[in-house]
Amino acid sequence: MRSRFDEQLNLLNEKMIHMGAECESIIALTAAALLKGNIADAKKAKEKGHRIDELEREIESICLKLLLQQQPVAKDLRVISAALKMITDMERIGDQAEDIAEIITFLNGRTGEECHDIRLMAEATIKMVTDSIDAYVKGDLDLAKSVIDHDDIVDDAFDRVKQTLIKLIAENTADGEYAIDLLMISKYFERIGDHAVNIAEWVEFSLTGAHKGKCQ
């Protein structure tokens, strides 16, 4: 019985890794599309969102089977419960990356290079998503805490983006719509960072039984 349970847990880990990789990929695609003004990459990112939705359903099914058929207790129960919470955040990460891709298609070839901190936000959120999933799979509490701490980098960059865009509008009011689009994009990156923090907090719960944060 335990060997079957362990097999299912291993499958759960594999699917979580896969879903995390798809989240990393969609963020990277949208960031590349934004920085290069590449509409084709933006469209690819939107297509990837469907695979993330499929993985959410697959993982949810595995978790429910484990809960109903194996009746896990203690740490195993926390791991499975945490996975169910985490996939909701990963699905939202995919949705927000799709939202960024949608906005990029309306930039008429302009890029985000005029606002360097958006690049920093994209790189930071990719790292946070990667590390939060790694922390879950490896059972690494320190790595989960480092993700939570890393959120300050994203928040600080978001504040700088806002100041940069205010200056851009002041210098050229014709850039108002462009600046608003970039502000929306940076806000989505900031939310992706929040979801990565949520994931890390559920990792903490799976390891310690304590959940101090709040979902975004």
- Identify the pLDDT of residue 58: 96
Query: Would you list the domain boundaries of the chain?
Result: 2-208
- Provide the CATH number for the domain formed by 2-208 in this structure: 1.20.58.220
Average pLDDT over residues 198-208: 94
Tokens standing for residue 203: 């990792």
Tokens standing for residue 199: 């994931």
> At 210, is the pLDDT very low, low, confident or very high (cuts 50, 70, 90)?
confident
Average pLDDT over residues 181-207: 95
The answer to pTM > 0.85 is yes
The more confidently predicted of residues 26 and 213 is 26
Residue type, 157: A
> At 216, is the pLDDT very low, low, confident or very high (cuts 50, 70, 90)?
very low
Q: Is the dihedral of CA 42, 44, 47, 49 positive or negative?
A: negative
> At 1, is the pLDDT very low, low, confident or very high (cuts 50, 70, 90)?
low
Q: Is the pLDDT of residue 215 over 50?
A: no
Q: Do residues 118 and 161 lie in contact, with contact meaning Cβ atoms separated by under 8 Å?
A: yes
